[in-house]
């Protein structure tokens, strides 16, 4: 079936079987391999993308359902000159080790910080509960989200 | 996943007709957080998915003359963000918050949680203690029932194959009723309940007599359980520690927990006792605050 959707601001389409997940569409048909295939059952969060402003597990969503919707993936965050403040904070604070959870962590952080740039640590932990990291122990990830939130609020305040 | 067809019907009657026509080879798709996993690992006997998640009849949170109507395809994320739910049914919001994680709450639906009909369904107890009623729609029209009649057995509801859960109604007289929901899982995030519990009650004008006390328990019986013996015992009794302690013992005796890989039945009984006390005590505190 033909699926047309907006990905990172660009209109894209692909002809895929109905049983194709959004994750598979992104990775194998649109060449966007930032979102990762981890557990494939909605537990690990490394496939997290944002659909119409809400974060979802793209391994649990059919591509057909995403038709006509607005998808943001990790590839949509940085531009040619500049990392997104969350990516910058993750890099500066060494919040990633192997990096496999990174795209999902950063998209979940974006979902949180787009609504609230000054979350409490409890709110950050809640927001990242669906993203598993097997390397860092989360401490630096949480610190990076705090720092990114500050950077985003000062960016917002800029005239 | 094995191949299947995917259809988005334009109305609930069309969805019902499709399901009736295709029988057991068709399945309605709600949020997909359980179903897509089943399709990846299941027997491959589903040939048609009927996506009902965006049907207008199944969407929306609305105040009606009868009470608060929650469309079956409302997501947990939408419940949490709803100003009317936060104000009128804060413990349904609290229960929604304990489901899965952010990403699954943005996909998963209240109706999906109820139709999946596992004993640990987190949203069920908070709805049961507010005397929720459900409306289902099928080939012969729609019918309504108390939510506890909807649950029949593990993974079995009273839905006929061609029927769909349309909405949940919290009756007007239960809106704002003092209530408390608690869930005990092995982690704070993304954990299934070992036990969950909800209580609700009013206090009479005297400030101590219990009126319409309700207790519902999850993950301790084949389906989410209304603790009707406990409720009958509490009705008209004074809200004293002695009465509540006795109620907790009745709740333990009417639950039917089992041993499984998550916890022993005996451990669950201890949580039931503690949670019964806590949800009732907290509801009483709230009743005294208002």
Distance, in Å, from the CA atom of B218 to the CA atom of B90, rounded to the nearest integer, reads 19
Distance, in Å, from the CA atom of B248 to the CA atom of B241, rounded to the nearest integer, reads 10
**3-state class of A74 per DSSP?**
helix
- Find out if CATH 3.10.20.30 is the number for domain A2-74: yes
Domain with CATH 3.30.390.50 in chain B: 179-289
Place of tokens 């039945």: B265
Look at residue B67 in the predicted model and tell me its pLDDT.
98
B102 touching A (Cβ < 8 Å): yes
Look at residue B110 in the predicted model and tell me its pLDDT.
98
For A40: left if phi > 0, alpha if psi spans -120 to 50, otherwise beta; the answer is left
Distance, in Å, from the CA atom of A73 to the CA atom of B25, rounded to the nearest integer, reads 34
Look at residue B290 in the predicted model and tell me its pLDDT.
74
Query: What are the mean pLDDT values of chain B's consecutive 10-residue runs (290 residues total)?
Result: 96 97 95 96 92 98 98 98 98 98 98 96 97 96 97 96 96 98 93 96 96 98 97 98 98 96 95 98 94
Interface A-B, measured as beta-carbon pairs within 8 A, has a size of 86
Chain A residues with beta carbon closer than 8 angstroms to that of B2: 19
Q: A107 to chain B, minimum CA–CA distance in Å?
A: 10
As given in the structure block, the two tokens for residue B268 are 């669950």
Are both A2-74 and A85-154 of the same fold? no
Q: So what's the ipTM on this one?
A: 0.96
- Give me the phi and psi of B262, to 5 degrees please: -90, -35
For B64: left if phi > 0, alpha if psi spans -120 to 50, otherwise beta; the answer is beta
- Whole-angstrom CA distances from B162 to A45, A77, B17 are 34, 44, 7
Chain B residues with beta carbon closer than 8 angstroms to that of A60: 32-33, 36-37, 104, 107
Q: A69 to chain B, minimum CA–CA distance in Å?
A: 13
Look at residue A157 in the predicted model and tell me its pLDDT.
53
B37 touching A (Cβ < 8 Å): yes
Look at residue A156 in the predicted model and tell me its pLDDT.
62
> How confident is the model over B248-257, as pLDDT tens digits?
999 999 999 9
Look at residue A159 in the predicted model and tell me its pLDDT.
46
Query: In chain A, which residues have pLDDT < 50?
Result: 158-159
Distance, in Å, from the CA atom of A4 to the CA atom of A10, rounded to the nearest integer, reads 11
**Helix axes of A85-92 and A102-113: crossing angle, nearest 10 degrees:** 130
Distance, in Å, from the CA atom of B259 to the CA atom of B220, rounded to the nearest integer, reads 10
Q: What is the pTM of this model?
A: 0.96
A46 touching B (Cβ < 8 Å): no
Domain with CATH 3.30.43.10 in chain B: 5-51
* From the candidate CATH numbers 3.40.50.1100, 2.40.30.10, 1.10.150.120, 3.40.50.2030, the one assigned to the domain spanning A85-154: 1.10.150.120
* From the candidate CATH numbers 3.40.50.11540, 3.90.1140.10, 3.30.390.50, 3.40.220.10, the one assigned to the domain spanning B179-289: 3.30.390.50
A26 touching B (Cβ < 8 Å): no
Distance, in Å, from the CA atom of B5 to the CA atom of B39, rounded to the nearest integer, reads 13
CATH architecture under which domain B5-51 falls = 2-Layer Sandwich (3.30)
DSSP sequence for B187-216: SSSS---SEEEEEEEEE-TTSSBEEEEEEE
- Find out if CATH 3.40.50.300 is the number for domain B57-174: no
- What is the domain partition of chain A in residue ranges? 2-74, 85-154
As given in the structure block, the two tokens for residue B282 are 């907290």
Place of tokens 């009745």: B250
- B8 → chain A, closest CA residue: A65
A145 touching B (Cβ < 8 Å): no
């Amino acid at each position: 079936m033909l699926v047309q959707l907006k990905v990172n601001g660009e209109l894209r389409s692909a002809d895929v079987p109905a049983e194709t997940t959004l994750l598979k569409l992104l990775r194998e048909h649109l060449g966007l391999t930032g979102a990762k295939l981890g557990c494939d059952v909605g537990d690990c969060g490394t496939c997290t993308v944002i659909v119409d402003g809400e974060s979802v597990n793209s391994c649990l969503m059919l591509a057909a359902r995403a038709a006509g919707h607005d998808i943001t993936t990790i590839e949509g965050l940085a531009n040619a000159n500049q990392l997104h403040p969350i990516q910058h904070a993750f890099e500066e604070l060494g919040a990633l080790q192997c990096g496999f959870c990174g795209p999902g962590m950063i998209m979940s952080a974006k979902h949180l910080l787009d609504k609230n740039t000054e979350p409490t640590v409890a709110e950050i932990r809640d927001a990242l509960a669906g993203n598993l990291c097997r390397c860092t122990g989360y401490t630096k990830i949480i610190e990076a989200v705090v720092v990114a939130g500050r950077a985003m609020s000062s960016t917002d305040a800029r005239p | 996943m094995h191949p299947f067809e995917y259809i988005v019907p334009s109305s609930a009657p069309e969805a019902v007709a499709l399901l009736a026509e295709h029988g057991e080879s068709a399945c309605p798709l709600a949020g997909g957080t359980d179903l897509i996993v089943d399709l990846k690992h299941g027997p491959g006997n589903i040939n048609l998915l009927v996506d009902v998640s965006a049907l207008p009849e199944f969407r929306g949170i609305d105040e009606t003359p009868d009470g608060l109507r929650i469309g079956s395809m409302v997501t947990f994320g939408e419940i949490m963000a709803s100003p009317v739910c936060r104000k009128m049914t804060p413990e349904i919001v609290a229960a929604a918050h304990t489901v899965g994680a952010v990403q699954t709450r943005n996909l998963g639906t209240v109706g999906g949680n109820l139709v999946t009909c596992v004993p640990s369904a987190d949203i069920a107890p908070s709805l049961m203690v507010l005397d929720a009623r459900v409306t289902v729609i099928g080939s012969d029209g729609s019918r309504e029932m108390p939510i506890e009649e909807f649950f029949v057995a593990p993974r079995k509801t009273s839905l006929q194959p061609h029927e769909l859960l349309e909405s949940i109604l919290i009756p007007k007289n239960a809106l704002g009723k003092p209530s408390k929901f608690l869930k005990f899982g092995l982690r704070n995030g993304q954990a299934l309940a070992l036990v969950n519990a909800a209580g609700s009650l009013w206090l009479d004008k005297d400030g101590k007599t219990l009126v319409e006390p309700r207790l519902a328990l999850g993950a301790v019986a084949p389906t989410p359980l209304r603790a009707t013996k406990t409720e009958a015992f509490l009705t008209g009794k004074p809200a004293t520690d002695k009465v509540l302690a006795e109620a907790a013992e009745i709740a333990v005796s009417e639950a039917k927990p089992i041993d499984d890989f998550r916890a022993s039945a005996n451990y669950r009984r201890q949580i039931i006792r503690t949670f019964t006390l806590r949800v009732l005590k907290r509801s009483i505190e709230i009743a005294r605050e208002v």
